Amino acid sequence: MYRVGQEEVDAIAKVLLSGKLFRYHAGGECTRFEQRYAKFLGVKHVFMTSSGTTALTAALAGLGIGPGDEVLVPACTYMATPVSVLAAGAIPVVVDIDETIAIGPEAVEDAIGPRTKAVIPVHMWGLVCNMDALMRIARKRKLLVIEDACQAVGGGYEGRMAGSIGHAGAFSFNYYKNMTCGEGGAVVTNDDRVAQRAQCMIDCCSFYWKGRKEDVVPFISNGARASEIEGAMLNVQLDRIGGMIRAMRQQKKRILRETAGTGLVQVASNSLDYECGSHVMYRLPTEAQADQFAALAGGTVTGKTGRHVYTEWDPIFAHEGAHHPALNPFKLPQNRPCRRTYTKRMCTKSLDILNRTVMIGNRPGRTRDQVTALIGKIKSAAVQVIGGTGLSPA
């Protein structure tokens, strides 16, 4: 959580005192946020959800993904990404990342099989994927693209907002994200039919409040509805996000510029001018050096966050895909032709990259002096770990 203050308190208080906490009413906060966020992203449809996971699931359901389908997911992502695939009844296939810490376009192309229906590029830690390459592959191989932008709220790729480029996108607004309402999410798309199905996945009873449509037959789903309290908080957060992202991008560019020539290998960005800028990353020669550098520079080894590495997805390895065996996608007859075997060593390239990469977080509220101090700390760590000069180029 980057910034929450009196404005959020006042917005929530206004909702509480109005007595209108349920989202379906004229002039509601959720509807207002959805309209504003759609304009911010440049998309036609936005629907708030209870979480990023339910947003991803709604996107998959909206696109018709289900039993018999494989969906490619990266080896580095929160477990919610493959969980959403299973929640839709399909099977996740884990694919290597490349040195940008994003799903590798070449690995995606190599992993496509006869059952592959979709791919989920995940914009991890504010770094965006190579969407031009991925969309070219998707067009050529007739794949659907669901952008997992849960960790890239406010970021973009080459002039387009993250989450708006694929056939559908998903966002998270939980405590750890660039924009927060504690818990929450949103699914976005430009496709009217996908939007109708996604909305039903979020709230199959919405017709009670919004009216029935003759051309839409609702299907049963679990609820993932947002409340007006979340909408109110997000409307305040949306006013801030642009300035916060600009501040972090500027920080990142300065840090990269002033730590060049120190011997550190900077992790390349797919879109430095448009990404979130929330993390600076360096790749070290060995795992031991990455551990040492992280400790000295105040960073984190990306392979040691636990929950973001495929080897830690216990329910996936156990093939426990549902609460009841009859609903378990791993046991459905439609999924028997799908690739359902997972091993801890299936993406060794990803593990090598992640265990040698250190990320250092940026904060939008840092002063120039604080950034200067951080740069000094990074340079000092470089000298101690790899014998760098600690000097920037003249």
CB-based contacts of 8: which residues, under 8 Å, 6+ apart? Answer: 232, 233, 236, 237
Residue 126, classified by CB atoms within 10 Å of its CB into exposed (0-12), middle (13-18) or buried (19+), is: buried
Q: With respect to residue 255, please indicate whether it lies within any of the assigned structural domains.
A: no
Q: With respect to residue 297, please indicate whether it lies within any of the assigned structural domains.
A: no
Q: How do strand 160-161 and strand 156-157 relate by DSSP bridges?
A: antiparallel
CB 392 within 8 A of CB 257: yes
Q: With respect to residue 122, please indicate whether it lies within any of the assigned structural domains.
A: yes
Q: With respect to residue 274, please indicate whether it lies within any of the assigned structural domains.
A: no
Which run of H or of E encompasses 72?
A: strand 70-74
CATH number at residue 169: 3.40.640.10
Average pLDDT along the chain, 394 residues, taken 10 residues at a time: 93 96 93 98 98 98 98 98 98 98 98 98 98 98 98 98 98 96 97 95 87 82 94 98 97 98 96 98 98 98 94 97 97 98 97 98 96 98 82 40
Q: 108 in helix, strand or coil?
A: helix
Q: With respect to residue 363, please indicate whether it lies within any of the assigned structural domains.
A: no
Q: With respect to residue 123, please indicate whether it lies within any of the assigned structural domains.
A: yes
CB 37 within 8 A of CB 47: no
Distance, CA of 324 to CA of 369 (rounded, Å): 56
Q: What is the residue range of 151's domain?
A: 6-237
Distance, CA of 102 to CA of 135 (rounded, Å): 14
Q: Which of 293, 40, 267 is nearest to 169 (CA)?
A: 40
Q: With respect to residue 327, please indicate whether it lies within any of the assigned structural domains.
A: no
Q: Which of 305, 313, 322, 315 is nearest to 347 (CA)?
A: 313
Q: With respect to residue 66, please indicate whether it lies within any of the assigned structural domains.
A: yes
Q: Which of 137, 167, 163 is nearest to 63 (CA)?
A: 167
Q: Which residue, chain included where needed, has tokens 């990342």?
A: 97
Q: Which of 264, 271, 324, 327 is nearest to 296 (CA)?
A: 264
Distance, CA of 184 to CA of 228 (rounded, Å): 11
Q: What values do phi and psi take at 358, rounded to 5?
A: -115, 130
Tell me the whole-structure pTM to 2 decimals: 0.95
CB 143 within 8 A of CB 117: yes
Q: Which of 317, 326, 282 is nearest to 301 (CA)?
A: 282
How many domains, the chain? 1
- Diameter of the chain by CA atoms? 70
Which run of H or of E encompasses 146?
A: strand 144-148
Distance, CA of 272 to CA of 178 (rounded, Å): 17
CB-based contacts of 108: which residues, under 8 Å, 6+ apart? Answer: 72, 95, 119, 134, 137
CB 52 within 8 A of CB 171: yes
